[in-house]
Amino acid sequence: MGFLSFFFSLFKPKKETLRLLFLGLDNAGKTTILNAMSDLPVQTVAPTQGFNMKTVDHSKYQLKCWDLGGQKSIRQYWKNYFGQTDGFVFVVDAADSRRLEECGVELQKLLEEEKLSGLPLLVYANKMDLPTAMKPDEVALALDLYSIRDRAWQIQGCSAIKNEGLQDGIGWLVTQIKE
């Protein structure tokens, strides 16, 4: 970095930081979504053991994204990350209809958490590139999203592998947080 670059970086306005949680069952695509949003490889992603934290730039905001493992044995620890959260993302594998009931149970538990009360919710219906994927409105019905009355929510169809629908969803979430 040259002197002038360094000098001008001192006067560059700092981006406002927002803290987001990425939750969902194992194999839903949380880490793959964050990798796609960070321009990192998406083809070989290992299951998250514990958590990952990635910082993603979005417009004039810096998003600190906490990606929490979704295995059944890890879900009991999700609550340790609920404090000081601005919004949360629940990722669903829209091509795995067998696990939608389990997704609904876990999402309902999250919606009842006091520390998440009133926070905007973005649901990514991921893996829309697969032929067996349910449409976002079908996922919304299966998760009973239309009964949510205590917060703003949005379902967004996406494909992490193809990086489709991700920016639309995160843009909606950031707008809701800032309103």
Contacting residues for 15 by C-beta, under 8 A, at least 6 apart: 57, 60, 61, 62
Q: Are 160 and 34 in contact (CB under 8 A)?
A: no
Domain residues of the chain, as ranges?
Answer: 14-178
How do the pLDDT tens digits run along the chain, 179 residues long? Answer: 565 555 555 555 577 999 999 999 999 999 999 999 998 878 777 778 878 899 999 889 999 999 999 999 999 999 999 999 999 999 999 999 999 999 999 999 999 999 999 999 999 999 999 999 999 999 999 999 999 999 999 999 999 999 999 999 999 999 999 98
Q: Give dist(CA 91, CA 107) in Å, integer.
A: 10
Q: Give dist(CA 97, CA 167) in Å, integer.
A: 25
Q: Nearest 5 degrees, angle CA 118-CA 89-CA 56?
A: 115
CATH of domain 14-178: 3.40.50.300
> Hey, what are 41's tokens?
């490889």
Nearest to 42 by CA among 34, 51, 32: 32
Residues taking part in catalysis: 71
Instruction: Determine the 3-state secondary structure of 67 from DSSP.
Output: strand
**pTM for the structure as a whole:** 0.90
Contacting residues for 19 by C-beta, under 8 A, at least 6 apart: 63, 64, 66, 84, 85, 86
Burial of residue 81 (CB within 10 Å: 0-12, 13-18, 19+) is: middle
